[in-house]
């Protein structure tokens, strides 16, 4: 029972198939995983790996062909609790323009709570709080289409926060943004997780977005091929490259140095940690040369 309470999402032996008149494609294959409450999990994979299909199953947008997904103990297949599942797990997608529907920022953020039947006074409080959380309070009277891509995506996230979900699932939310916009979104998500205790599941193909996660899951061909802490995942450079993924530049550099015989720890991930390893390795190399 404690295990159920500790996991906000549980995926049990799930398979998902896309079918049409002529073809059947299995996007997710007999996959199981748990998402711990309050954690920050990143799911990586190249296009076609099944990560976006999985994301849509985490709040019931996709129903498993076989197996079950539970949100806080609720089966996502149960029609009578579908709204409850979506209240608990909010979804943010790749293109913010497809999610913003109102002509004024504060009206857009209020849309979700209004649909939940929240009293007007509480909606105003939720909207103000959500906009402050994503650092967009100064833009509440603005027109969304005048904002940058990163600002629009923060508005989309605010709309989800105003609905007060326990978990936020984001399907490649930075894919259409420039580096500045990507940094804004990742900073916002980390703050939501660390300061607000919100469970975050981030689907991405940008390796650097996974560096500060609690856990990284790597998918390939509809299956999980790795599941561990970022430092462990990115130390296995060859495995990631074999499935078409890049690695953070620090991991790549340390991997090459290790291949050349330098005694570096490939689990170092931050720039500071990598620099320490390089200085240490160069010092050892210099000492051996002098002897």
DSSP string, 57-96: HTTTSS--SEEEEEETTEETT-GGGHHHHHHHEEEE-S-G
Residues of the chain with pLDDT under 50: 1-4, 290-291
- pLDDT for position 116: 85
What pLDDT sits at residue 280? 80
What 3-state DSSP class applies to 196?
helix
pLDDT at 4: 44
What is the C-alpha separation between 259 and 264, in angstroms, rounded?
10
Dist CA 64 CA 32 (whole Å):
12
| Strand locations in the chain (E) | 7-19, 24-36, 40-44, 66-71, 74-75, 89-92, 167-171, 199-204, 215-220, 223-228
pLDDT at 163 (0 to 100): 92
Residues 6+ apart with CB under 8 A from 71: 8, 9, 58, 59, 60, 85, 88, 89, 167
Predicted TM-score of the model (pTM): 0.88
Q: How far is CA 198 from the centre of its chain?
A: 12
Between the alpha carbon of residue 211 and those of residues 44, 189, 233, the distances in Å are: 12, 13, 10
Length of the chain, in residues: 291
The b-or-e profile of 213-225 (16+ CB within 10 A means b, else e) is: bebbbbbbebebe
* Predicted local confidence at residue 2, as pLDDT: 43
In angstroms, the CA 69 to CA 71 distance is 7
């Amino acid at each position: 029972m404690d295990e159920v309470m500790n996991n906000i999402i549980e995926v049990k032996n799930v398979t998902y198939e896309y079918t049409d008149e002529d073809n059947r494609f299995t996007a997710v294959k007999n996959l199981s995983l748990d998402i711990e409450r309050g954690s920050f999990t990143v799911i990586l994979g190249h296009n076609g790996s099944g990560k976006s299909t999985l994301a849509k199953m985490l709040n019931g947008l996709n129903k498993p062909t076989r197996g079950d997904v539970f949100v806080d103990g609720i089966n996502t297949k149960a029609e009578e609790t579908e709204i409850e599942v979506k209240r608990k797990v909010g979804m943010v997608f790749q293109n913010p323009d497809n999610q913003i529907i109102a002509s004024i920022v504060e009206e857009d953020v209020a849309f979700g709570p209004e649909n939940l039947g929240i009293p007007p006074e509480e909606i105003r409080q939720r909207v103000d709080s959500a906009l402050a959380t994503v650092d967009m309070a100064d833009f509440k009277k603005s027109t969304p289409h005048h904002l940058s891509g990163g600002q629009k995506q923060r508005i989309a996230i605010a709309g989800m926060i105003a609905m007060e979900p326990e978990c936020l699932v984001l399907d490649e939310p930075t894919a259409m943004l420039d580096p500045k916009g990507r940094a804004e979104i990742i900073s916002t998500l980390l703050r939501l997780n660390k300061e607000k205790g919100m469970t975050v599941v981030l689907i991405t193909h940008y390796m650097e977005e996974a560096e500060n996660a609690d856990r990284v899951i790597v998918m390939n061909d509809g299956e999980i091929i790795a599941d561990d802490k970022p430092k462990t995942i990115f130390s296995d450079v060859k495995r990631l490259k074999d499935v078409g993924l890049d690695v953070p530049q620090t991991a790549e550099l340390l991997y090459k140095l290790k291949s050349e015989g330098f005694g570096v720890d490939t689990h170092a991930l931050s720039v500071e940690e990598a620099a320490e390893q390089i200085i240490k390795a160069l010092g050892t190399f210099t000492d051996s040369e002098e002897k």
